Amino acid sequence: MSLFPSVRLRRTRQNEKLRALVRETRLSVEQLIYPLFVAEGIKEPLPIESMPGVNQWPVEALDTVAEQVVQAGIPAVLLFGIPAHKDEVGSEAYAEQGIIQQAIRRLKAIQPELLVITDVCLCEYTSHGHCGVVKNGTVQNDESLVLLARMAVSHAEAGADIVAPSDMMDGRVEALRHALDEHGFSGLPIMAYSVKYASGFYGPFREAAESAPQFGDRRSYQMDPANVREALREVELDVAEGADMIMVKPALAYMDVIRRVRENYDLPLVAYNVSGEYSMVKAAAQNGWIDEKQIVMEIMTGLRRAGADMIITYHALDIARWLRP
Ligand code: PBG
């Protein structure tokens, strides 16, 4: 008997060719979705201070960023709108000339092949900043469903390829599916933000989208970070209601949730690498404390390994560049 090991895992780690042969997880640019903020009433791209490298875009300037996204090989964008006027019921969210409706038409005209996914939620459009209709200080579930369904239909009419409800009202997938079908959009997929936690990681997004709640917080509709069995119930309902893709959000502190959902459901699974996750990496990289490329690629690989099929990330343009041979 030898003192030395006969099984040696280092044998397949000797060089990059060998490592690539035995690699278990791959990341491709085709799995990335790039979020875009479109704002009314600005003339030039407006940098978002807490998210270095990310801008609010005027509709007129979308051509440049859409061109970059397409050139990078990124298949899809996720749109968020920042209207000039907000009101109690988020009227601009479902207005025919609303900021998002204009953005969708523009993008589909200039880059018809680029998939346009739209975030369906009222928080960017309401004066109180909550994701639904507020009465007596509480967010009304069923009244909100009516408006969210209208919003999804108006996105579909403008030419959206996929709608993505992120409001966390009960029954919204069914409400959207029903309304879309009734208006002739039975072929339009729903990407449901099924498992969306009430998270501090959305902080920079709320600056970017000007959508912070004006009173209280979102814990009466978004999930408690402590729960995972409840996450499976959320997914179960969305699947039963007709979701075509399901999502876990945020991503990094919730990799176990991604894994659990992956093991329990066969639907395409999306991970949202959210604003706070992006800003932390950017801030550390700008200070020279971490290697940005290495860290970002490790995060993306981790999300794929946990079970995500697709990743929504503000790093998408950089990743596309790094993935190029
Ligand atoms: C709601 C919405 C939010 C995000 C995506 N859709 C914010 C929230 O629920 O408060 C957050 C995305 C991110 O942080 O990158 N419209």
Write out pLDDT tens, residues 54-101.
Answer: 999 999 999 999 999 999 999 999 999 999 999 999 999 999 999 999
Look at ligand 1, atom 10, and give the residue with the nearest C-alpha: 202
Neighbours of 186 (CB within 10 A): 9
Look at ligand 1, atom 11, and give the residue with the nearest C-alpha: 202
Ligand 1 in reach of 123 Cβ (< 6 A) = yes
Ligand 1 center–CA 28 separation, angstroms: 25
Tell me the pLDDT band of 210, cut-offs 50, 70 and 90: confident
Active site residue 17: no
pLDDT of residue 1: 67
Hey, is 202 helix, strand or coil? helix
Ligand 1 in reach of 275 Cβ (< 6 A) = yes
Q: For residue 180, tell me if it sits in a domain.
A: yes
Ligand 1 in reach of 93 Cβ (< 6 A) = no
**Cα atoms found within 13 Å of the Cα of residue 319, Cβ hemisphere only:** 25
Q: Provide the b/e sequence for 17-51 (b: ≥16 CB within 10 Å).
A: eeeeeeeeeebebebbbbbbbbbbebeebbebebb
169-184, pLDDT tens digit by residue? 999 999 999 999 999 9
Q: For residue 2, tell me if it sits in a domain.
A: no
Q: Is the pLDDT of residue 211 over 90?
A: no
Q: For all residues of the chain together, what is the average pLDDT? A: 96
Q: Judge whether 272 is annotated as a binding position.
A: no
Q: Judge whether 206 is annotated as a binding position.
A: yes
Return the ∠ at Cα 173 (arms to 170 and 176), rounded to 5°.
Answer: 115
E strand or H helix that includes residue 312 = strand 310-313
**SS percent in the chain: helix, strand, coil, step 5:** 45, 20, 35
Domain count along the chain: 1
Q: Judge whether 229 is annotated as a binding position.
A: no
pLDDT of residue 43: 95
Find out whether 107 and 68 touch, Cβ atoms under 8 Å.
no
Phi-psi domain of 90 (left: phi exceeds 0; alpha: psi -120 through 50; beta: other): left
pLDDT of residue 142: 95
Q: For residue 4, tell me if it sits in a domain.
A: no
227-254, pLDDT tens digit by residue? 999 999 999 999 999 999 999 999 999 9
Residues 6+ apart with CB under 8 A from 55: 37, 45, 46, 47, 48, 65
The lowest-confidence range among 20-29, 203-212, 234-243, 260-269 is: 203-212
Which ranges of the chain would DSSP assign to H, the alpha helix? 16-21, 62-72, 99-110, 141-158, 172-182, 203-209, 229-240, 255-264, 275-286, 292-306, 316-323
Ligand 1 in reach of 57 Cβ (< 6 A) = no
Closest atom of ligand 1 to 201 CA is 14
Q: How many residues does the chain have?
A: 325
Whole-angstrom distance, CA of residue 188 vs CA of residue 184: 9
Q: For residue 21, tell me if it sits in a domain.
A: no
Hey, is 165 helix, strand or coil? strand
Specify which residues 196 forms β-bridges with: 249
pLDDT of residue 309: 98
Closest atom of ligand 1 to 80 CA is 16
Q: Which of 160, 132, 134 is nearest to 146 (CA)?
A: 132
Tell me the pLDDT band of 2, cut-offs 50, 70 and 90: confident
- Its domain, for residue 54, covers 27-323
Ligand 1 center–CA 277 separation, angstroms: 12
Q: For residue 78, tell me if it sits in a domain.
A: yes
Whole-angstrom distance, CA of residue 188 vs CA of residue 157: 11
Q: For residue 19, tell me if it sits in a domain.
A: no
pLDDT of residue 207: 87
| Average pLDDT for 1-18 | 94
| Average pLDDT for 280-290 | 98
Ligand 1 center–CA 14 separation, angstroms: 43
**Which tokens sit at 185?**
């959009």
Q: Is the pLDDT of residue 168 over 80?
A: yes
Active site residue 43: no
Q: For residue 218, tell me if it sits in a domain.
A: yes
CATH number at residue 152: 3.20.20.70
| Average pLDDT for 93-112 | 97
Ligand 1 center–CA 161 separation, angstroms: 20
Specify which residues 21 forms β-bridges with: none
13-64, pLDDT tens digit by residue? 999 999 999 999 999 999 999 999 999 999 999 999 999 999 999 999 999 9
